[in-house]
Amino acid sequence: MIPKLDEYKEKWGVFSDTSIKPGLASINNALKLLNQPHKGLNVVHLAGTNGKGSTLTFIENIARSHGLSVGKFMSPCIVDVHDQIQINGIPISEEEMDQIFNLFKKSSISELLTDFELLTCAAFVHFNKNGVDLVLLEAGMGGREDSTNVITPIVSVIPSIALEHTRFLGNTIESIAKHKAGIIKENRPVVIGDLPPEAIKVIEMEANDKKAPLYRLGKEFLVDLAIDGDIYRNDLKGIQINNLKRFLLGNHQGLNMAIAITSFIEVANHFSLRIEPEKVLEAVANTRVPGRFEEIIENIIFDGAHNPDSAEKLVQTIKQQFPNEKIIFIIGMLADKDVKAVLSILETISDQFYFVDFSNPRAMNAEELVMLSNANEKYIIEKNDSLFQKLNSKGEKIIVTGSLYLLAEIRQQFLSRK
């Protein structure tokens, strides 16, 4: 469910399927009817389990600091559908979306696509119409059969790989890696993060088959993480940037930053730009990502840890930032996630959980979450002002986590009290 998308569909009589249907045949047919708006776009294509959004935002800020106009397509939304399509940080407007849906109606693509495929087409039309220099394109699920995989990118980026969407992608790291590796294209470079060995093997084979230059974190480029400033090193390209200070906390964000810098080096080569370290420093320091260890109001932090890998990273960051402090979790999860594993990881640092229902057809209800939790203190809480009435913070750190859809649904409620 994509908030407000249905309003445009009903207004313009353009309909799409709410289900997930991997494959490229339908979107390719629709794009032909739309006169191929994706052709000619300069794209960075990102796929992976975690870290896509943060890596994308680092790239966006670095690119804009070097004078490029940047369109980005990402998911899920923070507030509603408009967030998912942006140019230079500005979400697509209602008027612009109306114009696109009018085009959809005239082009007879109604009922050909899923919701995500329809939105992918909308992004391509918007970026093409506005002539952006660079497009940052985040795969929705997997990669090889994802609707975004109809482009030939400047560079492909895979920050991480872990078990996810096993119903569609398979239940092994190798099978999931094969889907992610599908975004690698002939003779186009690929940048990867700290992946499991079995995933690296799959990526290396795909890159070799496609004659795609491969840049691996810890091999072709490095990052030294330090409290007083990270150091990025890329001996292959003769680039070193010192004293990188991030607003985004956690070691994993340092790795995402390094992946982003390496990716932008390929973008800079494409546009014949010179990398300016001072601009990279400023862009990194100014990078913010909603729902990534984001302190909404004092002592209340949002982080969308929705699978075991991201839960582990959240726990590591909490230990780094709040040693020996009491932690309280507010959590809601999608039922198709590895809920039990996520809870077990979070329960290593807290024994107090509040479970909440939210509006998504895939959401697990709070009663089921309580049954799966091994915490001694576990409660169900309403998704309204009672969150604040019942959790009168006395110095405890309250972490709102789980589904990004939950965070999107209640984020404005928290911000309105800021």
pLDDT digits (tens, 9 = 90+) for 282-299: 999 999 998 889 988 888
Instruction: State yes or no: cis peptide before 76, omega within 30 of 0.
Output: yes
Percentage of the chain with pLDDT > 70? 94
Q: Which two tokens stand for residue 39?
A: 């052709």
**pLDDT at residue number 117:** 97
Other beta carbons within 10 angstroms of residue 84's beta carbon come to 24
In this predicted structure, the answer to whether residue 57 has a pLDDT above a threshold of 80 is yes
Contact in structure between 258 and 221 (CB atoms under 8 Å): yes
Reading the block at residue 1, the tokens are 């469910």
- Burial environment of residue 231 by CB neighbours within 10 A (0 to 12, 13 to 18, 19 or more): middle
| Residues 119, 115: Cα–Cα separation, whole Å | 6
Residue ranges and CATH numbers for the domains of the chain are 5-285 (3.40.1190.10), 294-415 (3.90.190.20)
Using the predicted structure, report yes or no on whether residue 362 has a pLDDT greater than 90: no
**C-alpha triplet 382, 387, 393: angle, nearest 5°:** 155
Alpha-carbon span 326 to 316, nearest angstrom = 15
Counting residues of the chain whose pLDDT is more than 90, the rounded percentage is: 79
Q: Which of 205, 214, 157 is nearest to 187 (CA)?
A: 214
The span from the CA of 344 to the CA of 340, in Å, is 6
Chain-centroid distance of CA 389 in Å reads 32
Q: pLDDT per residue over 292-343, tens digit each?
A: 899 888 888 999 998 999 999 999 999 999 998 999 999 999 998 899 999 9
Q: What is the DSSP letter of 17?
A: B
The letter for the amino acid at 227 is: I
CB contact at 8 A, 26 and 145: no
The residues, any chain, with a CB within 8 Å of residue 61's CB and separated by 6 or more, are 283, 284, 286, 287
pLDDT above 60: residue 392: no
- The C-alpha atoms of residue 70 and residue 138 are separated, in whole angstroms, by 13
pLDDT, residue 347, reads 97
- The sign of the torsion formed by the CA atoms of 224, 225, 226, 231 equals positive
For 19, residues 6+ apart whose C-beta sits below 8 A from its C-beta are: 114
pTM metric for this prediction:
0.91
